[in-house]
């Protein structure tokens, strides 16, 4: 009898990603992963200390997908608008991954200041300050306000409560950025 194929850490992470992407974070558990991999739960807990460790690694993988997705939209000459639009598009095109990262408590809660000071948001804030010739403080405030406005649109789309095409989303964002700059 040939030896049973070994289930690797990478196999487990990829299958976990696939489950979340197709069915949402609520569907992720050790039994489901094992079922999808046609194995027992033992390889999962041999590869990871517990489900929390697996979820931490999975979050990094989802973050990488989000970063790759948004990079397709980024224009540093109009960073605030393009990153906000990309965020909303992620909710539309990668609904379950968006839900895992930004809605369903998969990550630890953050403060507004924590969001503003996050290294991955600083570039947007600095580019926005240059674009609109405003102080970093004003740019932080503008970023904060537009981010939560965009999150509102994104969660409405995510929840299926609002149907908007790309043109409507772009118009809403452009109008709000213009109003908030004043």
The crossing angle, in degrees rounded to 10, of helices 95-102 and 9-23 is 100
Q: How confident is the model at residue 95 (pLDDT cuts 50, 70, 90)?
A: very high
- Per-residue pLDDT of 102-161, as tens digits, reads 998 776 788 999 999 998 899 999 999 999 999 999 999 999 999 999 999 999 999 999
- Per-residue pLDDT of 38-86, as tens digits, reads 999 999 999 999 999 999 999 999 999 999 999 999 999 999 999 999 9
pTM of the model: 0.91
- Per-residue pLDDT of 154-164, as tens digits, reads 999 999 999 99
Does residue 166 register a pLDDT over 80?
Answer: yes
Distance CA 47, CA 34 (A): 12
* Residue 120: predicted pLDDT: 87
- State the SS3 of the chain: CCCCCCCCHHHHHHHHHHHHHHHCHHHCCHHHHHHHHCCCCHHHHHHCCCHHHHHHHHHHHHHHHHHHHHHCCCCHHHHHHHHHHHHHHHHHHCHHHHHHHHCCCCCCCCCHHHHHHCHHHHHHHHHHHHHHCCCHHHHHHHHHHHHHHHHHHHHHHHCCCCCCCHHHHHHHHHHHHHHHHC
Q: How confident is the model at residue 4 (pLDDT cuts 50, 70, 90)?
A: low
* Residue 2: predicted pLDDT: 52
Q: How confident is the model at residue 91 (pLDDT cuts 50, 70, 90)?
A: very high
């Amino acid at each position: 009898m040939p030896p049973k194929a070994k289930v690797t850490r990478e196999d487990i992470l990829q299958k976990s990603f696939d489950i979340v992407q197709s069915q949402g974070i609520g569907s992720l558990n050790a039994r489901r992963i094992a079922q999808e991999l046609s194995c027992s739960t033992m390889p999962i807990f041999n590869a990871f200390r517990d489900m929390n460790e697996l979820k931490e690694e999975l979050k990094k993988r989802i973050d990488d997908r989000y970063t790759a997705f948004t990079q397709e939209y980024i224009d540093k000459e109009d960073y605030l608008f393009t990153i906000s639009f990309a965020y909303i598009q992620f909710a539309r095109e990668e609904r379950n991954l968006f839900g895992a990262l930004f809605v369903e408590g998969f990550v630890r809660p953050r403060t507004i200041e924590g969001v503003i000071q996050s290294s991955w948001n600083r570039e947007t804030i600095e580019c926005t300050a240059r674009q609109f010739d405003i102080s970093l403080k004003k740019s932080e405030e503008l970023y904060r306000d537009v981010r939560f406005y965009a999150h509102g649109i994104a969660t409405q789309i995510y929840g299926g409560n609002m149907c908007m095409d790309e043109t409507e989303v772009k118009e809403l964002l452009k109008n709000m950025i213009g109003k908030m700059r004043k």
